[in-house]
Structure 1
Amino acid sequence: MIEFNFKYILNSAIFENGIEEAEIRSLEHELVTVRRNLNDLRRDEEIGFYDEISNMAMVNDVKEIAEKLFSKDINTLYVFGMGGSSLGAIFLKEAMKGAACEKRMGKKINVIFSENIDPCYIKKNFDRIDMKKTVFCFVSKSASTIEVVSQFFIIKEILEKMSGNYKDNLLFITDKNSGFLRQYADENGIAALDIAKNVGGRYSIVTAGTLFPAYAMGLDIDKFLHGAVSYRDDMLNKAVFENNPVYTLASVIYLFYKKKHRNIFIPFVYSDYLKEFSRWFRQLFAESLGKELTSPTPVPAVGATDQHSQLQLYMQGPQDKLIGFFCLKDYGEDFTLNPDGFEEFNYLNGKKLSEVLINELKGVELALAIDKRPSFRITLDKIDEFSLGELSFMCMEAVAVLGMLLKINPFDQPGVEKGKKFAYLLMGKNDETLSRESEELKRLDEIPDLTY
């Protein structure tokens, strides 16, 4: 269960910098239209994250290929993916470090990620693993992501020199029908899993791209998807403001951006195991909403750590931020404090360490409210697969709804594609699809570098 507390966004709490509950309610007609539009896109199979969470054939394929690959003398899964192709799995890996995970085929599979192409970092990773005992997993929905393909060529060359049977150490997770990786897999008998065409990379936490490494780590992916399905069904079976806080969440961020000029949104997580969640959420938020000169900028923070590095700015810097706190009811493990003999700390006697952490959060909430700065709080019961499934779906739906309120398409990424085209040009690729970028590059190349 996920609890929401919006007390400190109200004008009764933070005066002129807050909003009234009636302002949120005033968006009901727009939200009903947003829901209808999203349902239409879902019905027409334009967006797939609603239904991929119920795709048991995909789940069975993940398990079948995992059991086949890991039944051999394999102890490592090395995942190559960019953005949404890796951030979801990294989020789940870090979140579940505090929980007991199963072993696969009676052994612990070490799962590591390469989400960048820093050659030194990659070489150091290669030095730490037994290449022959590693499955190299390449995740790319387009099947031609240049960073992923580049690393494939490196791995292919290394494995060819080591063993003629290198194809047994490869797995591609990509588009079902097209692209370089799919074609190579089909022509060479390499294991492959599909990514649904109608699920964008930043929503792919519910696809094989995330679920395969999650399963390899020992996560119960059925329980994770059950959490997502449960949240989806509960949300869609209620009216937009019938104990349905995901719509309130989207409305609050929208109103503070449009009416209160809060251009920065800070997901502030109070759990070390949610650090990578904040990175995943940042990408989901930024890539879905950052277009057409609109949307707040997401800036992750971790409490209590960043109370000592960022909070000064949030407390007394520009009044342009909205903070969303994320915390837990149950931290799984805990300590009871006993400051016996240290009289000045007697107030801590018998307190749990988790209480200290949550009271730090509440103290920041109060300090922000006194200074007329808005915040809200989202609380998970605990970290387990079901709760993470709920949290993941809630965030994806909130971002989709917010995009529709902002009247932008939360499912495309034109800015990213433009940057890719210039990179292709710089590396020597040139065809008619790059003609406009080629002309722009020529113009900029004529301007001398300003260097010192």
Structure 2
Amino acid sequence: MNYQHNFNPSISDMDVFNEIVKEKENIGYYNLVYQDTSDFKEYAKSVKQKNIVVIGIGGSTLGTYAIYKFLKHSKTLSKQLYFLETTDPIDIKSKVEAIDLKDTLFIVISKSGTTIETVSIFKYINSLVKCNQTNTLVITENDSKLNSYAKTNNIKTFEIPKDVGGRFSVFSAVGLLPLAIVGIDIDELLKGTRKIHDSFFGIDSNRDVYNRLLKKARFFVEYKNNFNINVVFSYSSRLEGFNKWYIQLWGESLGKIDINSTRQGLTPIGIIGPIDQHSFLQLIVEGKRDKTVTVIKVDDFDSNLKIPDIKLHGLEELDYLDNIKFSSLINQQADATIESINNLNDIPCDVITIDGVSERSIASLMYEYELLTSICAKFMYINAYDQPGVEAGKIILKEKLNK
């Protein structure tokens, strides 16, 4: 007797894990944790310009910005990093006017090499200053038209591997090279990713990452019809860039049609505490029960800034704030929010506490979210690495512009 089926029952954690292990053979982001960074560091040492401008959009900029935003106020960096990523003319003009273009290295990043936003901005920059081998670097696939342009003009290039998707590319040349140039320790970044990688894949004895990610992903997928919105509530303004990166990673990877032609998706929202305690928290607490909440805390802010012991007439009842560190205040605000949510007993909530403001901590967090995204995709029977939903708009735009 022959038997065929297309049933897709809920699969076991081990089956999902085995699928991820198999996927490692042709999805390149998993293995970036072990790459050699010597070429990146060698090139970084040769850069003399004080301003580094990344021209790109989406996966070409969001991850780099997330790391730079998180670290820049706690590092003594030798250079300034800027991002040109939108075709908004006001944004372009205001940023360009604030930069000394004669003392700038332009890093043009496009995996396909034909990204309209990126090429448009690069054309504009070329109208202001001559971009050549002395002030321009290209990061792209080795067979793209942008790569051909760079070779023709003797412009230095670094490769984006074909098996590394744009939104999973932050730990490739896309992110590591600009970050190395401005003075961030990219080897420490990769140590952070390796810690998560090795725990998940069982290379070390600690399987904590495996256990928590499989449990979290299974909950998200099995309860996706009840809790379709996933809120990341980051209690640090330094994580604003991470929130933006997470929204792209989650939305573009998981909003798909599965193998049964069923529309799937989990909706990402990124908010910042304590700012959004005064806005979005109201919706979480008393709104529809369709949201999970992940609170991200920073244990050590690398800051001793305190509320000063001064008297304000009429506000004496708030003198209990005197001499409290702002870092302590924001973490107690986070704890109060967590407790208020947990007391309701009907809002799924978890808490991630990263140890401090360091390369390892932000890289560990981001690599963990990359893994979580891939695991959710396996449970949902979808491809996390394509984006057919955005292709139609690109085709229409090209047709309009060609008329």
253, 266, 281: which is aligned to 2:231?
A: 266
Q: Distance in 2 between matches of 1:243 and 1:184?
A: 44
Report the alpha carbon displacement of residue 100 of structure 1 after superposing the two structures with TM.
1.8
Output the TM-score relative to the length of structure 2: 0.89
Q: Which moved more, 1:334-343 or 1:202-211?
A: 334-343
Report the alpha carbon displacement of residue 250 of structure 1 after superposing the two structures with TM.
1.6
1:41 and 2:6 equivalent? no
Aligned-partner SS, 1:299: strand
Identical pairs, percent: 31
Q: Whose helix fraction is larger, Structure 1's or Structure 2's?
A: 1
Q: Distance in 2 between matches of 1:338 and 1:190?
A: 53
Q: Distance in 2 between matches of 1:251 and 1:240?
A: 17
- AA paired with 2:199? D
The residue number in structure 1 matching 2:33 is 53
Give a deviation string over 1:40-66, Cα, whole Å, max 9, x none.
1212xx20011122110xx22222222
Q: Distance in 1 between matches of 2:288 and 2:155?
A: 54
152, 160, 164: which is aligned to 2:122?
A: 152
The residue number in structure 2 matching 1:66 is 44
Report the alpha carbon displacement of residue 369 of structure 1 after superposing the two structures with TM.
2.8
Q: Distance in 1 between matches of 2:235 and 2:209?
A: 28
- AA paired with 1:202? R
Question: Aligned pairs, how many?
Answer: 384
The residue number in structure 2 matching 1:117 is 87
Q: Distance in 2 between matches of 1:243 and 1:129?
A: 45
Give a deviation string over 1:278-320, Cα, whole Å, max 9, x none.
1111111111101122122111110000011211111111111
Report the alpha carbon displacement of residue 335 of structure 1 after superposing the two structures with TM.
3.9
The residue number in structure 1 matching 2:63 is 88
The residue number in structure 2 matching 1:356 is 329
Q: Is the 8 A contact 2:141 2:159 kept in 1?
A: yes
The residue number in structure 2 matching 1:205 is 170
Aligned-partner SS, 2:193: helix
Q: Is the 8 A contact 1:31 1:240 kept in 2?
A: no
Output the TM-score relative to the length of structure 1: 0.80
Label 1:340 to 1:180 Cα distance change in 2 as closer, same or farther (>3 A).
Answer: closer
Aligned-partner SS, 2:301: coil
Give a deviation string over 1:132-174, Cα, whole Å, max 9, x none.
22111110111111111122222233334xxxx7332111100
Q: Distance in 1 between matches of 2:101 and 2:218?
A: 49
The residue number in structure 2 matching 1:302 is 272
Q: Distance in 1 between matches of 2:134 and 2:125?
A: 13
Summarize the alignment of residues 370-381 of structure 1 with structure 2, pairs less than 5 Å apart.
370-371=343-344, 372-381=346-355
The residue number in structure 2 matching 1:14 is none
- AA paired with 1:295? G
Q: Distance in 1 between matches of 2:235 and 2:399?
A: 43
Structure 2: unaligned runs, 5 residues or longer: 1-8, 258-262
Structure 1: unaligned runs, 5 residues or longer: 1-25, 103-107, 430-452
The residue number in structure 2 matching 1:255 is 222
Aligned-partner SS, 1:147: helix
122, 139, 145: which is aligned to 1:180?
A: 145
Q: Is the 8 A contact 2:57 2:117 kept in 1?
A: yes
Aligned-partner SS, 2:54: strand
1:98 and 2:78 equivalent? no
Q: Is the 8 A contact 1:61 1:193 kept in 2?
A: no
Summarize the alignment of residues 324-403 of structure 1 with structure 2, pairs less than 5 Å apart.
324-337=294-307, 344-345=317-318, 347-348=320-321, 351-371=324-344, 372-403=346-377
The residue number in structure 1 matching 2:4 is none
Higher RCO (CA < 8 A, seq sep 6+): 1
Label 1:98 to 1:75 Cα distance change in 2 as closer, same or farther (>3 A).
Answer: closer
The residue number in structure 2 matching 1:440 is none
- AA paired with 2:88? D
RMSD value, Cα:
2.2
Q: Distance in 2 between matches of 1:61 and 1:414?
A: 34
1:420 and 2:400 equivalent? no
- AA paired with 2:140? T
Q: Distance in 2 between matches of 1:125 and 1:321?
A: 37
Q: Is the 8 A contact 1:30 1:405 kept in 2?
A: no
Q: Distance in 2 between matches of 1:222 and 1:331?
A: 22
Q: Is the 8 A contact 2:292 2:348 kept in 1?
A: yes
The residue number in structure 1 matching 2:287 is 317
- AA paired with 1:50? Y
The residue number in structure 2 matching 1:18 is none
The residue number in structure 2 matching 1:193 is 158
- AA paired with 1:379? T
Q: Is the 8 A contact 2:196 2:209 kept in 1?
A: no
Aligned-partner SS, 1:381: strand
